[in-house]
Amino acid sequence: MRLLVLEDDQDLARQLRAALTDAGYAVDVAHDGEEGHFLGDTEPYDAVILDLGLPTMDGITILQQWRRDGRDMPVLILTARDRWSDKVSGIDAGADDYLAKPFHVEEMLARIRALLRRAAGHASNEIQCGPLRLDIAASKVTLAGQNVSLTALEFRLLSYLMHHQGKVISRTELVEHLYEQDFDKDSNTIEVFVGRLRRKTQASLIETVRGLGYRLVVPSDDGRDDG
Ligand code: CA
């Protein structure tokens, strides 16, 4: 999952980047309104954290333009505590949630997790795919109850596939959602990571769809499922 943080307060932006990186996300940061608007317009972010007061272009205008242009990624706006009218205009402009400053990093992370899983169609913080279980809040994956030890990038890749299980995901899409903007992107490395994930989990779970990409296979009901 790849996020954009658009915040002109450098200290706060740094804190947000650190917390989100620790939580396993790829994070791009912009401090300027126009630059951030451009990034959100051209890069496929999974979610955006958007401060409203920004130089060169304010947050509400940015959000309105994104929505008008069909950018539908979840957006969490940062507002001043006592400005209830900011919350209203932000939500009306297309924001999905808001946080009033100052806020606890844990609350920001919880709201981002919720936006990401909701956008992918999951209501719960635990995503299951056959024997695989992703605990979104703990950033942990288990296979048949056993902890699977993953590097940051392996986790990011598996988490993305699990959020979008059953769908064919191209290598280009994976590259765009796993790496930060200035990272030297090479879609061949995805193959290497998929290979490692197959060895660490179950090879048959990640299917290669020739010429198209990968799909996390949703196992058919084997009779154990009581749903
Ligand atoms: Ca600001």
Task: Name the residue ranges covered by the structural domains of the chain.
Answer: 2-119, 126-216
Pairing of strands 26-30, 206-209: unpaired
Q: How far is the CA of 53 from the centre of ligand 1 (A)?
A: 4
Please state which CATH class domain 126-216 belongs to: mainly alpha
Work out the number of other CB atoms within 10 angstroms of the CB of residue 20. Answer: 22
Q: How far apart are CA 81 and CA 96, in angstroms?
A: 17
At residue 38's C-alpha, the angle toward residues 27 and 65, to 5°, is 115
Question: Ligand 1 centroid to 101 CA: how many Å?
Answer: 10
Spacing, Cα 81 to ligand 1 middle (Å): 13
CA of 15 relative to ligand 1 center, distance in Å: 14
Q: Is 126-216 in the same CATH topology as 2-119? A: no
**Could you list the mean pLDDT of each consecutive 10-residue stretch along the chain, which spans 227 residues?**
97 97 95 98 97 96 98 95 88 96 96 96 94 94 96 94 96 93 79 95 93 90 49
Distance 138 CA to ligand 1 centre (A): 30
pLDDT, residue 227, reads 40
CA of 162 to the centre of ligand 1 (A): 35
- Which residues neighbour 153 within 8 Å (Cβ) at sequence distance 6 or greater? 178, 193
User: How many angstroms does the Cα of residue 215 sit away from the middle of ligand 1?
Assistant: 40
Quote the CA–CA distance of 95 and 33 in Å, as a whole number. Answer: 16
Q: What is the pLDDT of residue 226?
A: 45
CA of 55 to the centre of ligand 1 (A): 8
Torsion angle, alpha carbons of 89, 91, 92, 93, to 10 = 80
N-term to C-term CA, the chain: 29
CA of 29 to the centre of ligand 1 (A): 13
Upper half-sphere CA count for residue 92 (Cβ side, 13 Å): 6
Q: What is the CA(125)–ligand 1 centre distance, in A?
A: 31
Which pTM does this prediction carry? Answer: 0.91
Amino acid at 53: G
Which CATH entry fits the domain spanning 2-119: 3.40.50.2300, 3.30.420.40, 3.40.50.970, 3.40.50.300?
Answer: 3.40.50.2300
| Separation of CA 57 and ligand 1 centre (Å) | 11
Q: What is the pLDDT of residue 8?
A: 97
Using the mean position of ligand 1's atoms as its centre, give its distance from the Cα of residue 40 in Å.
Answer: 17
Do 190 and 174 contact (CB within 8 A), yes or no? Answer: yes
- 114 CA from centroid of ligand 1 (Å): 24
